[in-house]
Amino acid sequence: MPIPKAELHIHIEGTLEPELAFTLAHRNGLTLPHTDVDALKRAYSFTDLQSFLDLYYALMDVLRTEADFTDLARAYLDRAAQQGVRHAEIFFDPQAHTNRGISLDTVIHGLTAALATSQDTHGISTTLILCFLRDRPATEALDTLHQARPHLDHISAVGLDSAEIDNPPENFTEVFAAARDLGLHRVAHAGEEGPASYIWQALNLLGAERIDHGIRCLDDTDLVSHLATTQTPLTVCPLSNVRLRAVPTLDQHPLPALMDAGLLVTVNSDDPSYFGGYVHDNYQALHTHLGLDATQLRQLARNSFTASFLPPERKAQLIAEVDAHPDPW
Ligand code: ADE
Ligand code: ZN
């Protein structure tokens, strides 16, 4: 059994496997532009973040009903259980659904129907992180937060995702302040493709408590010192970075440098159906391609719980499970 871990950077829409996409398309009377599963898989070849996002948003069209969202989340949780996940903080992109006429109620009722059984079925605790799309207007983000107010029992945090370059965090200062006032945690994608200055903005203007990706922090030594001192977690996604060409090859991934700099690094899967692996596959790839040893992988598993929004007692309990586990692979 893989080592226990938390998954802190997973877009539920990015877990849509090609087979499920075809099943849902058929159920909803839709025809995908790809002839079959193999043809769709051949389209999973990306040159940058935007080239991936184009397919990611297009394929979401198959998600129409509550049952579709439930099936999506249930399939993810089944896989997460096999990968040793004990706690998942799950991103979802409401605007990608509401902007095509699917109500927020449909999305949240569908997802939470699956999440409600995951503790009993798999021993996985879950929560949702509502992400704002940074390539959409900030007013739309404010409206989305307003619509989400009846559902805040299920939502622990807000996040910021989608196309990073030319969409700086500063544009979302107001909506993140409003989320803080509602008692929500704040996280933000920054420094995936965009500059280190976007990480500073996420910290200083959005009050981000974790940085999603954050690998470009290495361009700014003051920022690295700051992240190390404050132990602000980075949710790093190695297989994603290679598939989206933020990093040329896995052997050249900066994760060891980030750990050596004393940062609170976690390993995550981002959009696993598109990037060739779920969270434990990312751990294993770090062992195979970068030579991370059992001690380092165990530290990454501990970090995943430390960096979570779980209460301190639960973190301590899960970290003890990590320490009691035999070799991490
Ligand atoms: N939405 C889904 N995956 C993403 C990523 N890697 N970066 C930004 N937005 C995303
Ligand atoms: Zn992401």
165-217 tens-digit pLDDT: 999 999 999 999 999 999 999 999 999 999 999 999 999 999 999 999 999 99
From the CB of 49, is ligand 1 less than 6 Å away?
Answer: yes
Return the structure tokens found at 276.
Answer: 């060739």
- Which ligand approaches the C-alpha of residue 242 most closely? 1
Per-residue model confidence (pLDDT) at position 328 = 78
Indicate the pLDDT class of residue 247, thresholds 50, 70 and 90. Answer: very high
Minimal-distance CA residue to ligand 1 atom 4: 162
- Please give the Cα distance from 255 to 219 (Å, whole number): 14
Mean pLDDT of 89-106: 98
Mean pLDDT of 37-48: 96
- Which ligand approaches the C-alpha of residue 191 most closely? 1
Mean pLDDT of 242-249: 98
Indicate the pLDDT class of residue 327, thresholds 50, 70 and 90. Answer: confident
First-to-final CA distance of the chain: 8
From the CB of 14, is ligand 1 less than 6 Å away?
Answer: yes
- pLDDT of 302 higher than 90: yes
Q: Over the stretch 5-25, which tens digit does the pLDDT of each residue have? A: 999 999 999 999 999 999 999
Which one is catalytic: 66, 89, 192, 193?
192
Paired sense of beta strands 85-92 and 125-133, if any:
parallel
- Please give the Cα distance from 280 to 120 (Å, whole number): 21
- Please give the Cα distance from 298 to 266 (Å, whole number): 11
- pLDDT of 329 higher than 80: no
Domains in the chain with CATH codes: 5-308 (3.20.20.140)
From the CB of 17, is ligand 1 less than 6 Å away?
Answer: no
Residue 164 CA, closest ligand 1 atom number: 8
Residue 212 CA, closest ligand 1 atom number: 7
Q: How far is CA 204 from CA 178, 188, 259, in A?
A: 15, 12, 23
Return the structure tokens found at 190.
Answer: 């920054």
Global pTM reads 0.98
Confirm whether 192 is a catalytic residue. yes
From the CB of 194, is ligand 1 less than 6 Å away?
Answer: no
From the CB of 270, is ligand 1 less than 6 Å away?
Answer: yes
From the CB of 271, is ligand 1 less than 6 Å away?
Answer: yes
Residue 79 φ/ψ, nearest 5 degrees: -70, -40
Residue 14 CA, closest ligand 1 atom number: 2
Q: Which of 13, 50, 52 to mutate to test the pocket of ligand 1 (most atoms within 8 A of CB)?
A: 52
**Residue 129 bridge partners (DSSP):** 91, 157
Say what angle helices 196-204 and 221-230 make with each other, to 10 degrees: 40
